[in-house]
Amino acid sequence: MTPLSIVFDENRCIGCKACEVHCSQWNGLPMSLCRLLGGSPRQEPDGMRLAANLLRCAHCLKPQCLKACGRGAMQRDEDGVVHIGAARCDGCGDCLRACPYQALRRHPVTGKMHKCDLCAGRRRAGEEPACVAGCLTRALRLSNTEDDYRRTIKSIALCRRQL
Q: What is the pLDDT of residues 133-155, one digit of tens each?
A: 999 999 898 888 778 777 776 66
Which residues, 6+ apart, have CB-to-CB distance to 106 below 8 Å? Answer: 91, 93, 96, 112, 113, 114
Quickly state the pLDDT bin for 60 (edges 50, 70, 90). confident
Owning domain of residue 102 = 5-162
**In sequence order, which ranges of the chain are alpha helices (DSSP H)?**
18-27, 64-68, 94-98, 120-124, 130-134, 146-162
State yes or no: pLDDT of 53 exceeds 60.
no
> What pLDDT is attached to residue 16?
83
> Quick check: 77 and 86 in contact, CB under 8 A?
no
Model pTM score: 0.81
| Proportion of the chain above pLDDT 70, given as a percent | 82
Counting the structural domains of the chain, the total is 1
> What pLDDT is attached to residue 160?
52
Give the CATH number for residue 141.
Answer: 3.30.70.20
Going from the C-alpha of 75 to that of each of 16, 102, 115, the distances in angstroms are 32, 17, 12
Quickly state the pLDDT bin for 32 (edges 50, 70, 90). confident
Q: What is the pLDDT of residues 106-129, one digit of tens each?
A: 998 999 999 999 999 999 999 999
